[in-house]
A and B are shown apart, each in its own frame.
Chain A
Amino acid sequence: MEQSVLRGKAWVFTDDVDTDLIYHNKYLAETDPKKMAQFSFEYYPGKENFAKEAKPGDFVVAGRNFGAGSSREHAVYCLKELGIPVVLAENFSRIYYRNAINNGYPVLFVAGLSQAIKDGKIKDGDELEVNIGTGEIKDVTNGNAFHGDAVTDLEKDIMASGGLIEYLKATATKK
């Protein structure tokens, strides 16, 4: 697991961000994950230019139930391909959670993040320092600190393998 401290800009989203806002149904016919990045958050009001303006290393920060809605794995691929190293949210919707784990894409569960966003304790454009390994999150712009919990149990093993297919291959070899 990554132990080094990552530094990047925060892109802050609300609670219940639906997959249509992350990756709109208009582009579902796309089958190449590399081409999905350009459509990230195109339908999210106020964040239409996210894909153009976000830099590799920036962070997606959201409240409760991130990734609600559709089963589309596009919504994980697009952020991964854009170089967003981790999504920080209070919690994640069921299918989005699976899709992230299955791709070895890090997500951190940050208690209190929904309220912190509403209270302006973490804002768009803030500089963040994130240690995915320890879960330490620091908003350098205003000095606020948060803690993110990584996944546990089987999900941790799948993440460690790099994703579900890699996990299956690794366990099949062991047998």
Chain B
Amino acid sequence: MGKTMIQKIIQRASGKEVQVGDRVWCKIDLSTARDFGGPNCVLQFDEVTDKAKVWDPDKIAFTFDLQAPAHAEKVANNQKIIRDFAKRQGISKVFDVNWGIGQHVLLEHGLVKPGDVILGTDSHMNLLGGVGAFATGVGNTDIVASWINGTLWFRVPETMRITTTGSFGKGVCMRDYLTFLVGKLGADGMFFKAVEYYGETIEKSSLADRITLCSMVTEMSGKVGLITPNGEVLDWLVKRAGKEVIERIEAMKADSDAIYSDDLHFDVSKLEPMASCPDAPDNVKTVREVAGTHIDQVHIGSCSNGRFEDIAAAFEVLKDAGFQVSDNVRTIITPTTREVMKQCAEAGFIQKFLEAGVVFTNPTCSLCTAEHYGVLPGGDVGVSTTNRNFIGKVGKGSHTYLVSPMTAMASAVKGVLTDPRDILK
């Protein structure tokens, strides 16, 4: 019987022929932790192993992104726990507060290859499926277990196949398609499943778009969404991670007779700008339906939509609006990584954003929590390109609309929820 991509990845990592439902132990290619969850891992590891050596310091990485730089003593101390542990263990892959959001930093550093099994204390690790890696968010106990002997247990999941055709219209992008999918499939629409994305829309999409599409598999309760690198994305990846990428892609291709639990087809040609409305990602409407809604703050960034292409799309909207955001909203842009921030600087974006009244921050997760900067007070309504909008997530009693970078900027310009097609020339 043919195998899907996730089955092939798990077969490589476990050294076993596997079927859906099997529980197997997989060798871990990279086990990471961040400033959140990381200190918990370190303290637990030291306690249960009596400060033993980790299985392989070269296969462990730390990233500082949730609260970078630290805003409170407790957080600063947590970050120090990680730095001290890394030093003691000889772990050199430590990406401190100056680097940006973990998964993206790892990817930019060539530490992610198709077919890799990667762990992290971040439920959106699986956005690395955008380059065909099986990355998954786990708790501290899973990380500690992997640091002890380099393996971890997995259940071999069913695979859903989603084929996408058509080109996006003006003012519409991959984030709108993702929002559409979350609304269509629902909060448990991918329950425990892996997903393979195919079709012309995916094949011609940018790395940033692939990351976006895979970033909210978690919001549909899926395990990982996988895309086979091709074209410019493949070239980019080979440059960073080496030629082994090509062999890996060959090895993990799904068989033509692979079994899929679901086979879905969507065409994006007539798709409109979409919004996840308060207070759940799957409460989806078109932006037209909620246009004019009062808003207090706009945020463009996060692991889902803070890459250069995302910020460039927002820039185009701002340009067509005459480079001025509304005085009635606080507009904040947070690039995903230092590399992205440099790209924005080189393109001349940052100067223009600042002149338009935007707060342009260092690369960090920031507005994904109520415990860094950009927190919303009770009753405020935010518009954001992040990936969760449960009630009070970024401040007790606040509500958030999740939208594309273009819709976010259009809303920042008008001061109310706005369809970007009303601004784009």
Contacts and interface: CB of A to CB of B under 8 A. Distances in A.
Contact of B137 (A16, A21, A76, A95): A95
A29 B82 CA distance: 13
Contact of B78 (A31, A65, A93): A31
B35 to A, nearest CB: 9
B76 to A, nearest CB: 10
Given A20-B392, A24-B392, A165-B144, A93 B221 contact: yes
B266 interface: no
Interface string B26-40: 000000000011011
Interface stretch (A67-75, A78-86, A125-133, A135-143): A67-75
Interface in B56-79: 66-67, 72, 74-75, 78
Given A69-B218, A168-B149, A18 B388 contact: yes
Interface string B205-221: 00000000000001101
B364 to A, nearest CB: 14
- What is the size category of the interface that chain A forms with chain B? 35 or more
Contacts of A50: none
Contact of B140 (A16, A20, A73): A73
Nearest to B279: A45
Interface in B390-422: 390-393, 396
Contacts, number: 121
Given A28-B369, A65-B221, A95-B123, A154 B23 contact: yes
B149 A99 contact: no
A40 interface: no
Interface in A118-172: 153-155, 158, 163-165, 168
A72 B37 CA distance: 7
Interface string A47-78: 00000000000000000110011111100100
Interface residues of B, number: 50
Nearest to B121: A71
A68 B158 CA distance: 19
A31 B140 CA distance: 11
A110 to B, nearest CB: 16
| Residue of B149, B153, B368 with most chain A CB atoms under a 10 A cut-off | B153
Nearest to B21: A153
A26 interface: yes
B34 to A, nearest CB: 10
B138 A95 contact: yes
Contacts of A153: 23, 155
Nearest to B24: A154
B13 interface: no
B138 A69 contact: no
Given A95-B139, A102-B141, A154-B153, A25 B371 contact: yes
Interface stretch (B93-101, B184-192, B317-325): B184-192
Interface string A78-107: 000000000000010111001100110000
Contacts of B254: none
B122 interface: yes
A18 B390 contact: yes
A93 B370 CA distance: 23
A43 interface: yes
B280 interface: yes
Contact of A71 (B123, B368, B392, B396): B123
B371 A28 contact: yes
The 5 closest A-B pairs by CB, nearest first: A73-B139, A71-B137, A154-B23, A102-B141, A99-B139
Given A29-B74, A99-B142, A102-B141, 6 more contacts: A18-B388, A18-B390, A20-B390, A68-B219, A71-B122, A168-B148
Interface of A: 15-16, 18, 20-21, 24-29, 31, 43, 45, 64-65, 68-73, 76, 91, 93-95, 98-99, 102-103, 153-155, 158, 163-165, 168
